[in-house]
């Protein structure tokens, strides 16, 4: 059990609970303005995104409190600093708080470790009370999931996955060296696999045309010059990107390519602008773009797609 050293105080469990609840409210409000995460990391989501499989028992350890930033099942009940968000947590929280103030100590909690980050498997209330008492560490039985991802307490999981996917894409294609003028960046990591599939398909098509195997590096260069760059020029000429805040040119490149396939397969060259605008407004309504701006963006993109379909020089 954790050994507790507390100074005499007239403040009881109820006062500390009220303070903790106010701290949760303040942290949630500040997160709105600072854009810093206020939520605990959900373990199941992280395990899925990082494809975690192999786990090993590490035994009983002293774990730094600041590295515990996630939970297996209670990630909505506490803030990132483990301040309680729900009044329903009060009775159990205060019982644990009395253990601390009476000097009884806390039983060890159970944690999953991923990189340098810990997720509470059992003991969320104990972590919350320990944070309120400013414990630097807490005793825990730890199980570690192996990963090559450099996960830190302040890591943005999605941004990290995207960066790793980008690094893998460059390592496979060397497009940054072969085509230094291209700035290929995506906001979704799975998009890089789609780009790689496209380059490999492009290589196969060109090899078939030339009736001999084309080197992959050569295919990358030709893909950049004959496929990627012309479509990026369309995006820039029509200033499409402004209608999709938070997206990149490469995001819109994939959007155009996929919609070209849909238009060719389902609508041919006939697309009603009103229907396209309504569909985009429903699917991407969270961007809170005015309807007029949405319609303008759809109009520019549809015109670009139509011209792209008719441009036989772009494979």
Is there a contact between 69 and 157 (Cβ–Cβ < 8 Å)? no
Q: Output DSSP code: residue 143.
A: E
Neighbour tally for 110: CB within 10 Å: 14
- Looking at the structure, do residues 171 and 238 belong to the same domain, yes or no? yes
- Looking at the structure, do residues 135 and 185 belong to the same domain, yes or no? no
Residue 303 is assigned to a structural domain of this protein: yes
Q: What is the pLDDT of residue 232?
A: 86
Is there a contact between 254 and 244 (Cβ–Cβ < 8 Å)? no
* CA 81, chain centre distance (Å): 20
Residue 51 is assigned to a structural domain of this protein: yes
Q: What is the pLDDT of residue 1?
A: 53
- Looking at the structure, do residues 134 and 27 belong to the same domain, yes or no? yes
Q: What is the pLDDT of residue 157?
A: 77
From CA 132, how far away is CA 20, in angstroms rounded? Answer: 7
Residue 151 is assigned to a structural domain of this protein: no
Count of domains for the chain: 2
Residue 92 is assigned to a structural domain of this protein: yes
Residue 30 is assigned to a structural domain of this protein: yes
- Looking at the structure, do residues 75 and 123 belong to the same domain, yes or no? yes
From CA 97, how far away is CA 19, in angstroms rounded? Answer: 13
Look at residues 112, 145, 178 and tell me which one is the last residue of a structural domain: 145
- Looking at the structure, do residues 141 and 256 belong to the same domain, yes or no? no
Give start and end residues of each alpha helix (H) in the chain. 13-34, 43-50, 90-101, 124-132, 157-173, 175-178, 190-210, 216-223, 229-237, 249-262, 273-283, 291-310
Residue 4 is assigned to a structural domain of this protein: no
Look at residues 145, 175, 200 and tell me which one is the last residue of a structural domain: 145
Q: What is the pLDDT of residue 216?
A: 95
Q: What is the pLDDT of residue 288?
A: 42
Residue 300 is assigned to a structural domain of this protein: yes
- Looking at the structure, do residues 183 and 42 belong to the same domain, yes or no? no
Look at residues 145, 166, 189 and tell me which one is the last residue of a structural domain: 145
- Looking at the structure, do residues 214 and 304 belong to the same domain, yes or no? yes
Q: Which domain holds residue 26?
A: 13-145
- Looking at the structure, do residues 44 and 168 belong to the same domain, yes or no? no
- Looking at the structure, do residues 164 and 306 belong to the same domain, yes or no? yes
pTM of the model: 0.61
Q: Which of 8, 23, 22, 1 is nearest to 101 (CA)?
A: 8
Residue 268 is assigned to a structural domain of this protein: yes
Q: What is the pLDDT of residue 287?
A: 45
- Looking at the structure, do residues 161 and 120 belong to the same domain, yes or no? no
Here the CATH number for the domain that contains residue 24 is 3.90.1530.10
- Looking at the structure, do residues 134 and 178 belong to the same domain, yes or no? no
Q: Which of 217, 206, 214 is nearest to 176 (CA)?
A: 217
**Tokens describing residue 273:** 């602008």
- Looking at the structure, do residues 113 and 208 belong to the same domain, yes or no? no
Going from the first residue of the chain to its last (315 residues), give the mean pLDDT of each consecutive group of 10, the final group possibly shorter.
44 81 87 74 89 93 95 92 93 93 90 95 96 95 90 81 87 94 89 93 90 93 92 78 82 77 58 33 40 49 48 43
Phi/psi at 12 (5° precision): -95, -175
């Amino acid at each position: 059990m954790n050994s507790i050293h507390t100074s005499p105080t007239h403040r009881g469990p109820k006062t500390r609970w009220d303070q903790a609840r106010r701290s949760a409210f303040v942290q949630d409000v500040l997160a709105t303005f600072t854009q810093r995460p206020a939520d605990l990391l959900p373990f199941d989501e992280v395990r899925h995104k990082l494809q975690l499989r192999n786990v090993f028992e590490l035994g009983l350890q002293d774990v730094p409190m600041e590295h515990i930033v996630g939970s297996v099942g209670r990630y909505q009940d506490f803030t990132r600093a483990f301040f309680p968000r729900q009044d329903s947590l009060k009775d159990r929280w205060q019982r644990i708080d009395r253990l601390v103030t009476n000097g009884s100590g806390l039983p060890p909690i159970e944690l999953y470790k991923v990189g340098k980050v810990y997720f509470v498997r059992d003991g969320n209330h104990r972590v919350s009370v320990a944070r309120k008492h400013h414990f630097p560490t807490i005793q825990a039985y730890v199980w570690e999931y192996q990963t090559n991802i450099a996960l830190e307490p302040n890591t943005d999981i999605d941004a990290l996955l995207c960066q790793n996917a980008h690094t893998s894409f460059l390592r496979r294609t060397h497009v940054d060296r072969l085509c230094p003028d291209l700035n290929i960046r995506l906001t979704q990591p799975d998009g890089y696999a789609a780009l790689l599939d496209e380059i490999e398909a492009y290589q196969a098509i060109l090899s078939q045309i030339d009736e001999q195997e084309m080197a992959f590096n050569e295919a990358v260069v030709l893909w950049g010059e004959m496929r990627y760059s012309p479509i990026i020029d369309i995006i820039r000429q029509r200033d499409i990107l402004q209608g999709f805040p938070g997206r990149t040119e490469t995001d819109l490149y994939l959007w155009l390519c996929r919609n070209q396939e849909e238009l060719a397969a389902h609508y041919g060259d006939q697309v009603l602008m009103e229907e396209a605008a309504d569909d985009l407004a429903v699917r991407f309504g969270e961007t809170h773009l005015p309807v007029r701006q949405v319609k303008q963006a759809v109009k520019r993109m549809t015109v670009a797609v139509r011209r792209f379909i008719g441009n036989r020089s772009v494979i």
